[in-house]
Structure 1
Amino acid sequence: MEAQESYPIDVAAIREDFPILDRLVGGDVETPGQTDDDTEPLVYLDNAATSQTPRQVVEAMSDYYYSYNANVHRGIHQLSQEASVAYETAHDRVAEFIGASGREEIVFTKNTTEAMNLVAYAWGLNELGPEDNVVLTEMEHHASLVTWQQLGKKTGADVRFVRVDDDGSLDMDHAAELIDDDTAMVSVVHVSNTLGTINPVADLADLAHDHDSLIFVDGAQAVPTRPVDVQAIDADFYAFSGHKLCGPTGIGVLYGKEAILEEMEPYLYGGDMIRKVTYDDSTWEDLPWKFEAGTPNIAEAVGLHAAIDYLDDIGMDRVERHESLLAEYAYDRLTEFDDVEIYGPPGDERGGLVAFNVGSVHAHDLSSILNDHAVAIRAGDHCTQPLHQKMGVPASARASFYVYNTFEEIDALVDAVDDARQLFG
């Protein structure tokens, strides 16, 4: 693939919306924006951890604070009403974005991890027992793996893991063996944050439902990068985080089928999630408010709405094509080195990230050297320690891409990797 190949989106125009991409990093810079002879332009390739935020999202949140900052559902004055409408409309916008049937199926959490815990404790503690099993995959993020692992210890439910093949794909024959009539929940990552594997979640949903099991899909790496339709997947639960899709930190989304959410008990108790309270008992508010106790992240909901509008203006089909082009190009460039090992499927079959190691160089050392070249990547186990143990490495370096990244930035990554190879001989 040639680096000069045209992009499916207007990257130059998009980059103008992200002031942070103009930063110079390195040298003796002590404050953001200060220049130094040793600084270089930032190459931000850590988007699987957190994407950058466009000015449109920041402005939407600032407008909330400057114009109608008030608590929601608590007052009849105009500011409270305006804030309430904005907060509820954000639920509607998220529902539209992922193909849910309405706001009743959209619960705001603080991130994907909290969404996972909400289901585990509000549903799992009541539904799981020693006769049940929960089926995960070997590529699960700790948010899923640890949550269900610990819930299994509390309830006695067996926790099983579908094998990951050497090429990074899920062993679907093994999945068919593990998912049986005693399976109560299948929890699977949509796009692996380490391997870049795009899992066949609709097929897994069919398999789960054939055995009257529910399925929870971790969409933290999927919703920011490709069109997602939760009804087409037939997911019972689906979760993602705002900060990975151009939105703010501190807000995540749990989608749940309305009939299932109606039957679940609340996860948190307090204000705004109750309909009636006496000294003896309480009744719960309608969905989704039943699961949103206390003052919510109102400004963050406004920001999430703006981020979704921003991505929809680009077009999620084009976002996906752009990510695929960058991932394939990075894969091809890195395979030019015979001492670079890349984990996961081929470049044209993965999501927009590449995890790799260079010879005997520890990933943390590699990341430090790349930082000297102003290239920001992630190094470590990426919250997939068991998967790294399976791969036989303590850590890996991960470059991950988004709408504002370019082929030239990948070239800068490759040049920095080559410098590291030379330094370590």
Structure 2
Amino acid sequence: MRKTRRILFLFLIYFFIGIQSVFAVSVTIDPVISPISTEPFELTVTVTGAKTGTNYLRADIFKEETTDYFGETFTGSEWYNGEDGTHYFPINLITDTPAIATISARLSSIPANWSQSDHFIARVRRYTASGNYTGSEASASAIPITILIPTPTPTLVPTSTPPILSPSAPPYLPISSSPPPVSNIYITELLPFPDNSNEWIELYNNNEYEVVLNSWFIDDGEDSGSSPKIFSITIPGKSYRVVDLSTPIFNNNGDIVRLLDANVNEKDSFTYTTTSRGQSIGRNDILNHATCIQVPSKGSTNNSCLLSASSATSISDTGEVFGIDDKTAGEIETENTSSLSKPEYQAQTKQEFNNPGKKSLNDQLQEEELIQPQISNVFDISIKTGTTSTFFISLLNISFILCKMVLRPYD
């Protein structure tokens, strides 16, 4: 009887041990052959013996015989190394079916006390849906890995001994850390009142070499309400380039034109006080900033003057009149001064500037425009008085005015 009880007891012990081994969960990692650095790497993990459900896998990297765990695990949407076990890489498990997953891990940084001679370990923690894991299970999954420890670069201490230069060697020239400031760039022509087109600005590079205008600005008067227009352009030496404006900025009845560099420093400007539809405002000479109305010569040498850009009025082809002062074609504005001139413009001044004592056809036509209202005034007086004598006197006055117009010779 006592022998039978002993056999039964041993049977029960082996039975429960067998059941425990059947339901034990194991986590294994495939060997990692390549050395690991701070770049992401992959671990192939096999989970067996777990029940159906979703578990979560976390990679640990640590130095042998320490418990300082490093590394981050990719959750599927981000890199994570926090305390929430259910936030790590998910793996779906089925009872009695091994599950294989590949997880991505990385060392965001390598501790300063690690060296190439140290031994390193990788292991995987398996978190259940409740956020718990078994330490012995994680330790059983550990495998050795190799980590590439970067060699610190020694800091070079400059020697106090000056270098020995050969007598024939050229002198040392320091290299500037930033390009020299750009200068000698001028506004030479402007179309402020376009006819079925956009406004544009013509720039001239008065240097012998190419310049790059990066993030420069075109603007009108400072704090005048319009936003500066940013642009970038390359201009060869002694050449023109045009900046087309997508939206208007300049006034038709006069404005200030300014060229600003990337630091919003003014590089050039001029003022005009009258415009004509479809005609440009051009500079006669960079030296004195004289401006006049011209036939547009977009991107090339300016044409001859039609009318000063500072005259009293200018009548467009649609009959619109613009102008704000009483200056004539011979009065030149010098809102700015410059030490350099544009050679191409010096021979293109208006004939009146070279011969101020000789009347031009344009001046004579303007005088005739003044005479025509006089004739109209005479008829108005005769109609209002209603007398025959007044009417004949009016006819004599008209005859005198017409004779003056016919007999006056044109120059």
User: Fold-level match, TM-score > 0.5?
Assistant: no
Greater relative CO, 1 or 2 (CA 8 Å, sep 6+): 1
The two structures have a TM-score, normalised by structure 2, of 0.19
The two structures have a TM-score, normalised by structure 1, of 0.19
Higher strand share: 2
Question: Considering only CA atoms, is the larger Rg found in Structure 1 or Structure 2?
Answer: 2
Higher helix share: 1
